[in-house]
Structures are given as C-alpha cells and as structure tokens.
Amino acid sequence: MTDGILAATFAVSRRYGAVCALDAVSIDVRAGELVGLLGPNGAGKTTLLNLLVGLRRPTSGRVELFGGDPRLAPYRRQIGVTPQETGLPATLRVGECVDYVGAHFPDPVPRGELLERFGLGDLAKRQTGGLSGGQRRRLAVALAFVGRPRLVFLDEPTTGLDVSARHTLWEGIRAFHAGGGTVLLTSHYLEEIQALAERVLVLGAGRVLTDGTVAAVRAMVGVRRVSLLTPARAPLPVLPGVVRSEQTEDGRTHLLTTDADQLVRDLVHAGADFRDLEVQPTSLEEAFLSLTRDATDPAVALAA
C-alpha cells in the first residue's frame, strides 16, 4: 500500500440524472486515521461512502480501495461496512447473522466474542425481527467488525441509539482505532465527530469544503464566542469586531467576534457593565453551520 493510503478518490464525480451528488472530489484515508465525514443532507456523504466500498461506480474519476477497484471482491476483504439503513433478515437469529457474514472472511471474530463486545451477548438466539431498533443498529455495527477489518466505513452508526449505547459504541470504535484500525465515519451528531474524530472532512453540495483536524476546522471559521451577563438597564455599547450578537433566555448576551481579546479590551475601555465573562472557542457545530451556509450561498465566496 503506497504511503499507507488505504482508500482514495481521484477527482471523482457522481451524477444521478441531472443531480450532481459529488463534484470532482479527491480525498484519501490513511492507515490509522479516524476520519469524520460531516455534511448536511444531500451533501454527498453516503454517495462518497458507496463509491469507496464499490456499491456505485463514479461517473468520472477513479476510486481506489487498498490499491484496487472496490467493485472487485478481493479488495473488499479488509473492510467492514455499516450502511445508513439497518437491514437485517427478520427471521435469522442474531448469532446466525454473525455466522453468515463471518463465513465470507478467512479469519472471522468468534461469534460469542463479537456479540459480547457490542453488548449483544444474551441475544444470540433472538431473531433480528424481535430486536429493538437500537439493538439492531448495534448488530449492524458489530457486523462491520466480524472479518477483522483494517478499515471500517460507518454511515451514521449511532442513529437511534440512546446516550449510554452511543457512548458504549464510541468506546468500541476508539478501541478499534487504538488497536491500529482505520475508521471513516459519517454522522449528523457533531458531538460524536468532535468526540471521536481526529480529522474532519466537511462536504457541502458535493464538494469538499474543508479537510483538517477538528481544531483546525473550528479555527478556520475563526470566530470565538464571548458571553457575559449585563444588567438590563445598561445595554452594551456597539462595539467593532462583533460579527453577531445574540441574547439567550438566561439573560446572557453572546457576542461572536473574530478577535476575542480586542473585544474584551474594548468592553473594558467602554466601561461596559458586565459580569461572568466567558470566552469560548467556536464549537464544531458553529463552524460547520457557518461553512456549509457559506457554501450554499452563491453571494459568499469561500476562501479555500
């Protein structure tokens, strides 16, 4: 594998009729990375995943998986996939599903061990139709790991899971990653990407908007949040450098600014009456919203 790149796309485009789902996207996934793929609905995340695992062919450009075409079976031997929609044969038992998928690999994880790892140990004999949505989702994620993959593709893995199940799954993913595994995961839960991913790819309208560490993506937008309490009778003076100002229900005023330090100096010099000042970095959510809003707004040129 050249340079430890396990999967890559080279100027890949994918059209469905008149709709362009992906537009000249070039990305790569290197061994040992934990990559989070973010984007609003329709951004092309699932399409990109489908191209990488060979479910779809690109309209133009090239896809490589472990150095070869993912549409050929041998190149899929070291991957595991959890698709967005959980589909399991309703009448097969949990253990049987694991056995069936395991039969496709030379050295599958033993059934009992895999089920234990994903908290499904007592459910081996239950038909999948009799599982709750969350249990089915956990099984769908577990199946991605049966074949001892080097690279797993998880499309919104924790959809439908409650908080504790989600955290348990995060632990499982972290453990896999800590053991040398590579993960490409899409999610709507920015908290999840922030918690797990080292590297974030943001897609918008079929293009890569940004590709960097979580910190870099947050810093990209360059906005920090200064929040404070002001007594109602003394409104804040209008200050330069404030991108946006919001009031929340608890009476806090939130000022978004590109230069928090200068804003604090300005506040002090203006003699503003405030208490409980907090300066926070932009959350990934704010960065993401800002980036994708700009991407779909033709009037705003996004500096790449």
Partner 1 sequence: MPLALTNARFHLLETVRVPIALVGTVFFPAVSMLFFVVPFAGRDPVGATFATASMVTFAVMTSSLFSYGVGVSEDRAQPWDPYLRTLPAGPAPRLAGRLIAGLVGTFCSLLPVVLIAAFLTEATTTPLRLVLAIGAVVVIAVPFTLMGLAIGYALPMKAALAVAQVVFFPLAFAGGLLSAPGQAPRWVEAIAPYVPTRGAVELLWASVGDYRMDPKAIVMLAGWTLTMAALAGWAYRRDEGRRFN
Segment 130-169, which members bind partner 1 (CB under 8 A)?
A: 147
Strands 252-257 and 224-229: antiparallel
Binding status of residue 269 toward partner 1 by CB under 8 A: no
Binding status of residue 177 toward partner 1 by CB under 8 A: no
Binding status of residue 65 toward partner 1 by CB under 8 A: no
C-beta neighbour count of 234 within 10 angstroms: 11
Q: How far is CA 163 from the centre of its chain?
A: 17
Binding status of residue 92 toward partner 1 by CB under 8 A: yes
Can you spell out the DSSP letters for 101-139? HHTTSSSPPPHHHHHHHTT-GGGTTSBGGGS-HHHHHHH
- Window contacting partner 1 (CB under 8 A); options: 2-10, 22-30, 97-105, 200-208: 97-105
Q: In the set 73, 238, 301, 304, which binds partner 1 (CB under 8 A)?
A: 73
- Residue 214 and residue 193: Cα distance in Å, rounded? 8
Strands 79-82 and 60-65: unpaired
Q: In the set 36, 39, 44, 54, which binds partner 1 (CB under 8 A)?
A: 54
Binding status of residue 62 toward partner 1 by CB under 8 A: no
Binding status of residue 291 toward partner 1 by CB under 8 A: no
- Amino acid code (one letter) for 207: R
Please report how close the Cβ of residue 29 comes to partner 1 at its closest, in angstroms: 16
Binding status of residue 194 toward partner 1 by CB under 8 A: no
Q: In the set 13, 127, 168, 253, which binds partner 1 (CB under 8 A)?
A: 127
Please report how close the Cβ of residue 132 comes to partner 1 at its closest, in angstroms: 17
Q: Enumerate the H helices of 150-283 as residue ranges.
A: 163-178, 190-196, 214-221, 260-269
Please report how close the Cβ of residue 130 comes to partner 1 at its closest, in angstroms: 11
Strand positions, DSSP E, the chain: 5-16, 19-30, 34-38, 60-65, 79-82, 151-155, 182-186, 199-204, 207-213, 224-229, 242-247, 252-257, 275-281
Provide the mask over 205-244, with x wherever binding to partner 1 is found by CB under 8 A and - wherever it is not: ----------------------------------------
Total residues binding partner 1 (CB under 8 A):
27
Binding status of residue 89 toward partner 1 by CB under 8 A: yes
Q: In the set 22, 35, 43, 79, which binds partner 1 (CB under 8 A)?
A: 79
- Window contacting partner 1 (CB under 8 A); options: 100-108, 114-122, 189-197, 292-300: 100-108
Strands 252-257 and 242-247: antiparallel
- Window contacting partner 1 (CB under 8 A); options: 93-101, 110-118, 232-240, 270-278: 93-101
Binding status of residue 88 toward partner 1 by CB under 8 A: yes
Q: How far is CA 270 from the centre of its chain?
A: 42
- Residue 278 and residue 276: Cα distance in Å, rounded? 6
Paired strand residues for 207:
204
- Give the interface with partner 1 as residue ranges (CB under 8 A): 53-57, 73-74, 76-77, 79, 81, 83, 85-89, 91-92, 96, 100-101, 103-105, 127, 147
